[in-house]
């Protein structure tokens, strides 16, 4: 679960509900705006606490996916370096027909 999306989603949902309720309740504009602002701030703080709780419990996939991606990249890099080293060794030495090893000249 991507916990970065929790605070905006909860805050905007609560703001929408508060706006609809103040409209249906025929509140004055000033009162309506104060109520909506209070709801937005309150639910934003609440949702940050929920996000922090999820992160502490390890529910966030972001850290797990990042770790897996780093491990894959490290393995691919090691594999690439090993194959590159093997290619260099293969290019540096060639076996002649009689079995003797000769060095290949570098073309520069």
Look up the pTM and report it.
0.56
Give 61-99 as a DSSP string: HHHHHHHHHHHHHHHHHHHHHHHHHHHHHHHHEEE-TTS
What integer pLDDT is reported at residue 31 of this predicted model? 96
Query: In the chain, what are the domain boundaries?
Result: 1-59, 61-94
Q: What is the pLDDT along the chain (108 residues), one digit of tens a residue?
A: 678 899 999 999 999 999 999 999 999 999 999 999 999 999 999 999 999 998 888 766 666 777 888 899 999 989 988 888 888 777 766 554 455 655 555 554
Tokens linked to 49: 């606490």
Contact 48, 11 (CB under 8 A): no
């Amino acid at each position: 679960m991507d916990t970065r999306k929790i605070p905006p989603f909860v805050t905007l949902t609560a703001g929408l509900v508060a706006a609809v309720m103040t409209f249906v309740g025929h509140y004055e504009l000033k009162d309506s705006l104060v109520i909506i602002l209070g709801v937005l701030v309150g639910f934003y703080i609440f949702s940050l606490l929920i996000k922090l709780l999820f992160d502490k419990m390890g529910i966030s996939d972001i850290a797990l996916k990042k770790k897996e991606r780093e491990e894959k990249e490290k393995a691919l890099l090691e594999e690439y370096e090993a194959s590159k080293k093997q290619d260099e060794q293969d290019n540096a030495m060639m076996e002649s027909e009689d079995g003797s090893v000769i060095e290949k000249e570098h073309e520069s």
